[in-house]
Every structure is written in C-alpha cells, then in structure tokens.
Chains A and B, each alone.
Chain A
Amino acid sequence: NAGVTQTPKFRILKIGQSMTLQCTQDMNHNYMYWYRQDPGMGLKLIYYSVGAGITDKGEVPNGYNVSRSTTEDFPLRLELAAPSQTSVYFCASSLGTSGSPQEQYFGPGTRLTVT
C-alpha cells in the first residue's frame, strides 16, 4: 500500500491565483481530513469527510473548498490565494467508526507559499 499520497510537494502561488491540492489513500479508509500547519504551530483542521459525498467544515475552513466523489480521493481547493494561506498542508485518513482504531495516517504534506 502507498498509504496517503499528496501532490504537489511544493508550490508557489501568486496572490489571487487558485489551485487544487490532491490527496489519495489506498487503505479503504472512510474518514479523510485536511490540516494546515503554520511554522512552529500545531495542526489545524480545515475540512473533513466521513465518506464519499459527505464533507464538513473544521476549525479553519475560510478560503478553502473540498469535495469527496470517491472513497480514495479528497482534493482541497484554494480560491483566490492569500499570503495567510502560506503553510504546510497535510491530508490524513482513518478507518472510521468509533469502535475501530482511530489512528490518522498522514500524507507527506504540500508546502505552499503565496506571494
């Protein structure tokens, strides 16, 4: 299994541009998450999904959108990029259901700079 994969690894955007961060998992996990990690800080939840077709906002959703058309893929869309969105973005997945192991498996991250 490749686990959780993310593309691209690095990206520089100009203010006002848009882009999509890709995330794919091959573990047949129900739950998927997007986090951002600012320098020297913990991770903050942007959006999450409990299954195909179901998404919901996390702690810091403004400026982002997501979709979940398949179990495997959970892309994050940035519209009108702003310098405040400069961060490292991590996608994660977990099996789901309260009785099962709750470990979230993280992707390698995307380092995004908006200038």
Chain B
Amino acid sequence: GENVEQHPSTLSVQEGDSAVIKCTYSDSASNYFPWYKQELGKRPQLIIDIRSNVGEKKDQRIAVTLNKTAKHFSLHITETQPEDSAVYFCAASRLTGGGNKLTFGTGTQLKVEL
C-alpha cells in the first residue's frame, strides 16, 4: 500500500517568514495530494490540493508543488501569520471509482512566533 513520509515534524518560524513542509510518497499510481490544517482540538480542514497532471498550484499565500518523478510534494506558506500556527498533514491517494482512500503523513506542528 501507499506510504507517506512528512518532514519536519515541528517547524518554528518568525511572523512574515516562509514555511516549507515536505512529503514523499511510495505509490507511483497516486494522483491526488491534499494538504489539511488541524488546529488544536479541531477537525482537519482542507487548505489546498493538487492532482498529478499539475506541477504547481497557488491560493493566495499557500502553494503546493509536485514532483512526480521524485515522488515528493511540498507545501509553501509565505508571509506567515500567527493564525497559521497549527498541525499540517499531507496525504496521497489514487483516485478511482472506488473511493478516495487517503494515506496521511504524520503531521508537522507549525509555530509562527511574533
């Protein structure tokens, strides 16, 4: 099955700096890569996703890049703000008619310091 590794496990940045979180996946057939943000005690919420036919996607301060050859994808947050502090999870799946079975990474605790 799919295996997703995520690094780093913790990341501390100063407000206004950029943050980068990296993930690798093992299944070359995976074609969907979402990123979820989870605040303490809350449910995960999708912040951005990318499909394998696209190399990069941006949404305001957030961007995701995908390298299919190397089987890794990254989350980039620019101009970080205190409200960006949370745990971020990457995930991967192979989209089929049989469901979107996500395999999650172990998470990155991002702390944005004033």
Chain A partners chain B: yes
- Are A45 and B101 in touch, CB under 8 angstroms? yes
Contact with B along A77-112 (1 / 0, CB 8 A): 000000000000010001011100011101111000
Closest residue on chain B to residue A41 by CB atoms: B106
Chain B residues within 8 Å of A33, by CB: 99, 101-102
Q: Is B89 an interface residue (CB 8 A)?
A: yes
Chain B interface category by residue count: 20 to 34
A-B contact count (CB 8 A): 63
- In Å, the complex CA distance between A39 and B99 comes to 26
- Are A104 and B46 in touch, CB under 8 angstroms? yes
Chain A CB within 10 Å — which of B44, B49, B102 has the most? B102
Closest residue on chain A to residue B42 by CB atoms: A108
Considering only CB atoms and an 8 Å cut-off, how many residues of chain A contact the other chain? 26
Tell me whether A90 and B44 are in contact in the complex, defined as CB-CB below 8 angstroms, given that A42-B107, A102-B32 are known contacts: yes
Q: Which residue of A41, A58, A98 is within 8 Å of B97 (Cβ)?
A: A98
A97-B97, A102-B34 known; 10 new pairs, CB 8 Å cut-off, are A31-B100, A41-B107, A42-B4, A42-B91, A42-B104, A43-B44, A50-B99, A107-B43, A108-B42, A109-B43
Report 10 cross-chain contacts, Cβ distance below 8 Å, ordered by A residue.
A42-B6, A42-B89, A42-B104, A42-B105, A43-B44, A97-B97, A102-B34, A102-B95, A108-B42, A108-B43
